[in-house]
């Protein structure tokens, strides 16, 4: 076989031995090698592991959060209702009675004041002048009364003399020693004396009334001057100072706002099932966030007669309760005054109300004596 034939054949032949021609073994052609990127497969496995870890951590965090939330909720026995609120004290405005200028200030923000303490004084120079005028008029009225009383004594003397003259004239007429005309004159004189006496008594009453009016004017200006001294109506703490020395205020102008530390309370909102069992005077405890180890004894002083929607800032035991009743628990006045330095308005906390007297308070709600 020539070279041309070998090139044309599909299978090459080789000379094995003389005179024999055998087919050559097939030549194996290897498939092209395509490299596989190993880093893509590793990255996918890492992402899977990270996802599993994240899910596991999220589940663990959720479980821990639920556990902490569950154990942070107050655990109280049946018979005691609770809700959150804020401690409050009544605010009292210290205002001016009359328009005027502030002359003196004797208190400032944060000061503790006692009942009857003067916290400010207004300028009363105009009232002082009016008072002096009224006192002068009172003196004149007093002298007028004294004068009319003296005149009345004179008129009484004249009336007595006229009566005696009439008696003598009457006796003489009977004996014929005087005329009827003289008797009539004596009678007319007595009538005139009686009329003058009556008029004198009326003038005394008029002078006395004038004196009373002058005395009332003096008393009025005295009261008005005293009312320009601004007093603290109760014991408490000055919360705001609204005006300053020298400012001119209208009638009713506010100078201070104070907290009545004798009336400290907390308003809470309870669902119908709890509020319906609470009575006025029921025993309660207030636990402030700032003093969780010191429950404060209190008493229910008010229960609303109408329900209202739950305020957004209030959390009840069952968030599904939409209608709630406002209940006020008040701290005893003597206890509030004894701890006046610790009274703060607006402190958040919880109020526990025992509607079943047979239920004992838990140990953590036992109030100190």
- Residue 286 half-sphere exposure, CB side, CA atoms within 13 Å? 28
Is the same domain home to 237 and 223?
no
Is the same domain home to 108 and 150?
no
- 3-class secondary structure, 340: helix
CATH value at residue 311: 2.40.30.170
Is the same domain home to 117 and 131?
no
Is the same domain home to 112 and 145?
no
Is 53 domain-assigned?
A: no
- 3-class secondary structure, 139: helix
Is 56 domain-assigned?
A: no
DSSP 342: G
Is 82 domain-assigned?
A: yes
The pLDDT score that the predictor gives to residue 26 is 47
Is the same domain home to 210 and 353?
no
Q: How far apart are the C-alpha atoms of 121 and 128, rounded to whole Å?
A: 14
Number of domains in the chain: 3
The pLDDT score that the predictor gives to residue 179 is 80
Q: Which of 217, 249, 281 lies at the terminal end of a domain, its last residue?
A: 249
Handedness of CA 310, 316, 321, 325 (dihedral sign): negative
Is the same domain home to 288 and 360?
yes
Is the same domain home to 213 and 264?
no
Cα dist from 42 to 47, 50, 55, whole Å: 9, 12, 20
Is the same domain home to 107 and 164?
no
The pLDDT score that the predictor gives to residue 13 is 40
Is 215 domain-assigned?
A: yes
Is the same domain home to 235 and 209?
no
From the CB of residue 287, how many other CB atoms can be counted at a distance below 10 Å? 20
Q: How far apart are the C-alpha atoms of 84 and 288, rounded to whole Å?
A: 10
The pLDDT score that the predictor gives to residue 314 is 60
Q: Which of 214, 249, 284 lies at the terminal end of a domain, its last residue?
A: 249
Is 217 domain-assigned?
A: yes
CATH value at residue 112: 2.40.50.100
Q: Which helix H or strand E contains 128, and what residues bound it? A: helix 125-175
The pLDDT score that the predictor gives to residue 239 is 92
CATH value at residue 167: 1.20.120
For 345, counting Cβ atoms within 10 Å of its Cβ (0-12 exposed, 13-18 middle, 19+ buried), the class is: middle
pLDDT string in tens for the chain (369-residue length) = 444 444 444 444 434 433 333 444 444 444 444 454 454 556 666 777 767 777 777 767 666 654 554 455 556 788 999 999 999 999 999 999 999 999 999 999 999 999 999 999 999 999 999 999 999 999 999 999 998 888 888 888 888 888 888 888 888 878 878 788 888 888 888 888 888 888 888 888 889 999 999 999 999 999 999 999 999 999 999 999 999 999 999 999 999 999 999 999 999 999 888 888 999 999 999 999 988 899 999 999 999 988 887 676 665 555 556 788 999 999 999 998 888 888 888 899 999 999 999 999 998 888 766
- Structural domain harbouring 129: 125-227
Is the same domain home to 145 and 195?
yes
Is 187 domain-assigned?
A: yes
Is the same domain home to 297 and 205?
no
Tokens standing for residue 240: 């705001």
Is 15 domain-assigned?
A: no
Q: How far apart are the C-alpha atoms of 177 and 251, rounded to whole Å?
A: 81
Q: How far apart are the C-alpha atoms of 158 and 222, rounded to whole Å?
A: 43
Is 142 domain-assigned?
A: yes
365 close to 79: Cβ distance less than 8 angstroms: no
Is the same domain home to 274 and 349?
yes
């Amino acid at each position: 076989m020539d070279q041309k034939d070998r090139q044309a054949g599909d299978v090459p032949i080789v000379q094995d031995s003389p005179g024999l021609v055998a087919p050559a073994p097939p030549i194996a052609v290897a498939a092209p090698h395509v490299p596989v990127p190993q880093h893509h497969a590793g990255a996918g496995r890492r992402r899977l592991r990270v996802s599993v870890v994240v899910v596991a951590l999220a589940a663990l965090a959720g479980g821990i959060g639920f556990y902490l939330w569950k154990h942070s909720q107050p655990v109280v026995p049946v018979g005691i209702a609770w809700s959150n609120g804020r401690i409050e004290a009544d605010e009292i405005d210290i205002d001016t009675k009359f328009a005027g200028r502030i002359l003196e200030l004797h208190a400032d923000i944060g000061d503790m004041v006692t009942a009857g303490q003067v916290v400010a004084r207004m300028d009363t120079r105009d009232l002082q002048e009016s008072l002096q005028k009224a006192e002068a008029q009172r003196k004149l009225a007093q002298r007028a009364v004294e004068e009319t009383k003296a005149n009345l004594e004179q008129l009484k003397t004249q009336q007595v003399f006229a009566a005696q003259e009439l008696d003598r004239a009457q006796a003489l007429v009977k004996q014929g020693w005087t005329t009827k005309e003289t008797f009539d004159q004596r009678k007319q004189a007595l009538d005139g004396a009686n009329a003058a006496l009556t008029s004198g008594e009326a003038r005394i009453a008029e002078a006395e009334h004038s004196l009373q009016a002058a005395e009332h004017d003096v008393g009025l200006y005295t009261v008005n001057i005293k009312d320009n001294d601004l007093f603290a109506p109760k014991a408490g703490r000055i919360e705001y100072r609204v005006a300053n020395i020298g400012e001119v205020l209208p009638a009713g102008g506010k100078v201070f706002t104070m907290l009545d530390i004798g009336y400290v309370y907390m308003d809470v909102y309870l669902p119908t099932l709890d509020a319906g069992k609470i009575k006025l005077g029921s025993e309660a405890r207030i636990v402030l966030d700032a003093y969780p180890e010191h429950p404060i004894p209190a008493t229910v002083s008010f229960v609303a007669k109408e329900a209202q929607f739950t305020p957004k800032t209030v959390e009840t035991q069952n968030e599904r309760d939409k209608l709630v009743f406002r209940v006020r628990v008040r701290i005893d006045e003597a206890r509030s005054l004894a701890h006046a330095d610790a009274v703060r308005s607006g402190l958040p906390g919880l109020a526990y109300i025992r509607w079943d007297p047979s239920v004992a308070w838990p140990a953590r709600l036992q109030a100190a004596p």
